[in-house]
Chain A
Amino acid sequence: MYIIESGNVAAAIGVKLARAQVIAAYPITPQTPLTEKLSEFIESGTMKAAYIPVESEHSALAVCIAASTAGARAFTATSANGLLYMHEQLHWAAGARLPIVMCVVNRGVGAPWTVWNDHQDSISQRDTGWIQIYVNDHQEIIDTTIKAFRIAQEVNIPVMVCYDGYILSHSHMPFDLPDQKLVDRFLPPYNPEDCLDPKNPTNLNSVTLPDVRMNIRGELAHGYMELRYLLQEDLRRSIQVVADVEKHYKEIFNRGEGPYLEEYRCKDASFIAVSMGSLSFQLRVAVDALRKEGIKVGVIGIRLYRPFPDKAIVKALSKADGVIVFEKAISYGYMGTLCSEIASALYKNAKTPFVHNYILGIGGRNIRTEDLVDALRNSCTKGKNTDSADTLGWIGLKI
Chain B
Amino acid sequence: MGTRKCNQITSTGEPGPGDGGKTGSWRVLRPVIDPNVCIPARKNINACFICWLYCPDCTITRTIPPVIDYEYCKGCGICAEECPTKAITMVEESKFSSKG
**Which A residues form the contact surface with B (CB < 8 A)?**
95-97, 156, 194, 201-209, 211-217, 219-224, 226-227, 230, 234
9 CB < 8 A contacts A-B: A203-B15, A205-B11, A206-B20, A211-B21, A213-B18, A213-B22, A214-B18, A215-B14, A227-B10
Q: Which residues of B contact A226 (CB under 8 A)?
A: 2-3, 6
- Contact across chains for B21 and A222 when beta carbons are under 8 A apart: no
Q: Which 8 pairs across A and B sit closest by C-beta, in order of nearness?
A: A216-B16, A213-B21, A209-B21, A208-B11, A203-B13, A222-B3, A97-B10, A205-B11
CA distance A332 to B17 in the complex (A): 48
Inside 8 A of B2's CB, which chain A residues have their CB?
Answer: 212, 220, 226
Nearest CB in chain A: distance from B59 CB, A: 12
Q: Interface digits, B25-49 against A, CB 8 Å rule (1 contact, 0 not)?
A: 0000000000000000000000000
Chain B: minimal CB distance from A158 (Å): 13
Q: How many residues of B contact A (CB 8 A)?
A: 20
B9 interface neighbour in A206, A220, A227, Cβ under 8 Å: A227
| B11 and A234 contacting across the interface, CB-CB below 8 Å | no
Contact status B18-A216, CB under 8 Å: yes
Which residues of B are in contact with A by a Cβ distance under 8 Å? 1-3, 5-6, 8-22
Q: Is the CB of B11 within 8 A of A222?
A: yes
Asked if B10 contacts A219 (CB within 8 A), the reply is no
Q: Count A-B pairs with CB separation below 8 Å.
A: 77
Residues of chain B within 8 A (CB-CB) of A204 are 10-12
Smallest CB–CB gap between B3 and chain A, Å? 5
In the complex, what's the smallest C-beta–C-beta distance from B8 to chain A, in angstroms?
A: 6
Prevailing SS type, chain B contact patch:
loop
Q: Are B13 and A221 in contact (CB under 8 A)?
A: yes
- State whether A216 and B3 are in contact (beta carbons under 8 Å apart), knowing that A97-B9, A207-B20, A209-B20 are contacts in the complex: no
With A219-B6, A220-B6, A222-B3 known as contacts, the answer to whether A194 contacts B17 (CB < 8 A) is no
**Contact between chains at B18 and A222 (CB < 8 Å):** no
| Complex-state Cα separation, A47 to B75, whole angstroms | 54
Asked if A215 and B11 make an inter-chain contact with CB atoms under 8 angstroms apart, the answer reads no
A219 to B8 Cα, complex, angstroms: 11
The answer on a CB contact under 8 Å between B10 and A215 is: no
Q: Would you call B20 and A202 a contact (CB within 8 A)?
A: no
Question: CA separation between A206 and B3, bound complex, in Å?
Answer: 18
Complex interface: chain B residues within 8 A of A227 (CB): 8-11
How far, in whole Å, are A214 and B72 apart by their CA atoms in the complex? 12
Known contacts: A207-B20, A209-B20, A209-B21. The answer to whether A220 contacts B11 by CB under 8 A is: no
Taking a contact as CB atoms under 8 Å apart, the answer to whether A203 and B8 are in contact is no
| Additional pairs, 20, CB under 8 Å, beyond known A201-B15, A202-B12 | A194-B12, A201-B14, A205-B10, A205-B11, A206-B20, A207-B20, A208-B11, A213-B20, A213-B22, A214-B18, A215-B19, A220-B1, A220-B6, A221-B6, A221-B8, A222-B6, A222-B8, A226-B2, A226-B3, A227-B10
